[in-house]
Chain A
Amino acid sequence: MNQEHVVSSPVPGTNLVVVRRREGGRTTVTAEVRRTPLVAVNLAIPLGAAISAESVRDVYAGCLKRGPAGTTPMSWQERLRRCGATMRVRVRDTSVLVTLVALAEYSADLAKLIGGLCAAPGLSDDAVGTAVHADRTRGRLRGAAPAVEGRRLVRALLTGLQDDGPVDDLAERLRTAHRELAWGDTRLAVVGAGAEAVAADVLAALPVAASRQRHAAVPVRMGSAGVHRVPGSPTEAQITCGGLVPHRHESGYAAAEIAVTLLGGFHQSRLFTRLRQELGLSYGPTTTIEHGHRGSWFTLSLHTPAETSDSAMSTIEQTFAELAHETLPAQVVAAAGSYVGGTLRSSLATITGLASALGALLPEPGPEFIARHLRALALATPDDVRSVGATIFAPDRLVKVIGHGVERPTRRRPS
């Protein structure tokens, strides 16, 4: 059954109109923005369980970047460039996100390129071998960055998502998995000049297959005692902490986002004040919230000189304890809520940001979430924040990682 729904001004104060369509299992949102002669396409390809292992998804994404079967990366790149297109491919736990930004005058060609890529990505033994080789190099480089490795470990400890190591018959496994992909669950967001027409062209070019795979809910781990240590710089320590937060569809999400921001993330954050302004131990603690089908989690990241890493960690633990119990002044909570709302609005101010944000909200909670969330941020009270803080900052729900030391990091990648 087809449904069409118009969401007027999901961003208050703007005249943005978003149209959402449901056709079969597919969900599409479009927003007509004519500020630049560009169009941004955000396509979430739903992955089946067969390629949900992180290392395998990385290779699948790598193959997509190299273009469809029967082409070379060179000719694929050339075809993209002729549309003025740049393509980014990112992996999530249940999907691969393909983002293309192109000159709108070439949008019909762009739709054909997307359709061709999705119908038959290059998954020959040679293509997969090349992607594995590149991924191994990239993985080693990524693993050498303590900040990146810290975030990966925090996510793995909280969600169970981690590198599964070498995989047998990888190319055949990818080809089989690709044939079984749930194209019926495709999620598409198009923003820019002529968005409606572009979305129609892309949908027409995509493969058609019923929605047939679902990911079973997996129990999440609720934190991990002690401090995990990973290799890093001999002179600088990277501290990464994390914990689970309510999901976006849950009532405590806005308060959780405020609580995490008050931890570290803006000028009035407690760790920003203490570790940077008062102690000078760190340039700036930052926080993010990520979402996956196994839950949502926050990550706190900062670096500090190696010799001060223990005292920095003590300050962090003390701050967690305070935010788990304290009722903060209403003015402070309001300031944090306003800041979070402002960063959300600014992320929606470009066509690529808007396409990414809208795509990430599909199929649920949908574009309406933006206005709803901005209201919830404005209405959150100190009691709401303390209540959610007591849960998300409880010691037994937190994971803590310090990256420091001279041992050269290595990472296993698929064979």
Chain B
Amino acid sequence: MTATGTHISQVELGNGLRVVCLADPSAPSIAVAVTYGVGHRDEQPGLEGCAHLFEHLMFEGSPKFAPGRHFTLLQERGGIVSAYTGLDYTQYYQLVPPEALALTLELEADRMAGIRLTAEAVRRQVKIISAEVRGKIAGRPYGGFSWQYAPQVLFRKWANTHQGFTDNRALADLAREQANAFFERHYGPDNAVLTVAGNVEAARVGDLAEHCFGRIAARGRPPRPDLDESWADGPAVLDVPDALAPYPAVAPVWRVPDRRVDRAAHLRFQVLAALLSNGHGALLRRHLAGAQVRAQLGVGGDPLETVDPSVFAVNIVLGEWTEASALAVLWDVLENIAEHGPDDEARSAGIALSAAHFEKIDSTLNLARMAGWLALHGEDVEDVHAVGEVYRTTTSEDLAQVATTLLHQPRRLVRVVVEGR
């Protein structure tokens, strides 16, 4: 039993599917997430965007359910359905009323068993993804800044540096054999985690999981590509043109320690991010008045999503500042933290961040999603709660160490260049 009243239990089915239940009788609904060990980093050259394409194709029908039925069956029962592809995972998640749990698991199991891979469905989803990527990147100012570009200046291996969230029209001609091979390789039960959170008992989840998923044969967990990167030397800069941006922007980016080697050392970068940019009085925001500042750990919305190698970035939309003057301020702030530490601010930033983490996992859906990432990455699922404690106990000396780490890395920048200037 955890601090939030959630009881966590785990079991592995005979076919290798890992099942995690986070039971909380006070929750009004149930969240179900199926997290597969395939993300942008698992793609092959020429097939950039394939992981994201399969996220879409998984809604194009399965042996028992027609295309789109996954959405309609759950939505007409008051459910919410979505999916997301990250660097290291693809996750399908839904929030449903308790009476729709069995149906949800049946739907997920059926498409894990097989999907309807037609040429028409592939072409349709490639076109939809084209609209999605164009809208999210080209259709908005600072689209993709800096998460989309940071790996390109920090890493060297193709698996880490290519863009998976991309408008790759060539995928429309994906051969049926290639598509089948991708599905067979990555979408087996032994390469997946099922998490169920909310108003449900662990025994029922275990029974339903066995009933729905137990019949699916293991396909072997595929090895991940070689993601190891040396800590490269020398500066690097990537310029990104932007037709909508009213101001130029710059983001110094750094590599961070592996969370699976030293969880606390990794998560403390998130405390530094909060110290620098969370709230109007944040350290860097008050020194860069008029600029927009956002520091963040990881590629995506949450630090726990990404495994090593991962990224720390300080995104600065410059406003009236010049790049040189804004960066000078940042280096001064980091040097000051490295030398003197932020004193009481470290403790209060950690307290605020731990509260923000509690707020995040107050959502049953977030809880199921986070547990899915952790279990998939081989980390302790109890960490969904323990990360708050790491934030809370971060000291001034810890943050001085984090700042020192950043100052000793070579300077890598992603810049948004205002087109036409």
Q: Across the interface, do A345 and B29 meet the contact criterion of CB distance under 8 Å?
A: yes
**B221 near A: Cβ within 8 Å?**
no
Chain A nearest Cβ from B346, distance in angstroms:
10
Q: Across the interface, do A38 and B352 meet the contact criterion of CB distance under 8 Å?
A: no
**B182 near A: Cβ within 8 Å?**
no
Chain B residues near A338 (CB, 8 Å)?
75-78
**B258 near A: Cβ within 8 Å?**
no
Q: Interface size on A (CB < 8 Å)?
A: 78
CB contact between B28 and one of A13, A81, A238, A277 (< 8 Å): that residue: A13
Chain B residues near A342 (CB, 8 Å)?
75, 77-80, 96-97
Q: List which A253-288 residues lie within 8 A (CB) of chain B.
A: 266-268, 276-277, 280-284
A339 to B289 alpha-carbon distance, docked (Å):
44
Q: Across the interface, do A236 and B139 meet the contact criterion of CB distance under 8 Å?
A: yes
A80 to B247 alpha-carbon distance, docked (Å):
31
Instruction: Given A13-B28, A81-B351, decide whether A351 and B362 contact each other with a Cβ distance below 8 A.
Output: yes
**B297 near A: Cβ within 8 Å?**
no
Chain A residues near B245 (CB, 8 Å)?
144
**A305 near B: Cβ within 8 Å?**
yes
Chain A 329-357, CB-CB to B under 8 Å as 1, else 0, gives: 00000110011011101101111100000
Chain A 85-126, CB-CB to B under 8 Å as 1, else 0, gives: 111000000000000011100000000000000000000000
A-B pair number, CB within 8 angstroms? 216
Chain B residues near A84 (CB, 8 Å)?
351-352, 354-355
Q: Across the interface, do A78 and B348 meet the contact criterion of CB distance under 8 Å?
A: yes
Q: Across the interface, do A267 and B292 meet the contact criterion of CB distance under 8 Å?
A: no
Most buried by A among B140, B354, B420: B140
Q: Across the interface, do B124 and A280 meet the contact criterion of CB distance under 8 Å?
A: yes
**A162 near B: Cβ within 8 Å?**
no
CB contact between B128 and one of A133, A233, A276, A303 (< 8 Å): that residue: A276
Chain B residues near A266 (CB, 8 Å)?
71, 75
CB contact between A101 and one of B127, B129, B320, B355 (< 8 Å): that residue: B355
Q: Across the interface, do B243 and A406 meet the contact criterion of CB distance under 8 Å?
A: yes
Q: Across the interface, do B246 and A346 meet the contact criterion of CB distance under 8 Å?
A: no
Q: Which of A17-25, A68-76, A195-203, A388-396 lies at the interface?
A: A68-76
**B306 near A: Cβ within 8 Å?**
no
Q: Which of B40-48, B204-212, B278-286, B403-411 lies at the interface?
A: B278-286
CB contact between A35 and one of B5, B95, B140, B349 (< 8 Å): that residue: B5
Instruction: Given A38-B355, A73-B281, decide whether A282 and B131 contact each other with a Cβ distance below 8 A.
Output: yes
A350 to B82 alpha-carbon distance, docked (Å):
19
Chain B nearest Cβ from A400, distance in angstroms:
18
A101 to B361 alpha-carbon distance, docked (Å):
13
Given contacts A134-B289, A236-B138, A350-B359, 10 further A-B contacts (CB under 8 A): A77-B279, A103-B358, A134-B290, A144-B246, A233-B140, A236-B134, A282-B135, A338-B75, A349-B95, A352-B362
9 closest residue pairs by CB, A with B: A342-B78, A77-B281, A280-B127, A84-B355, A236-B139, A81-B348, A267-B71, A335-B76, A283-B132
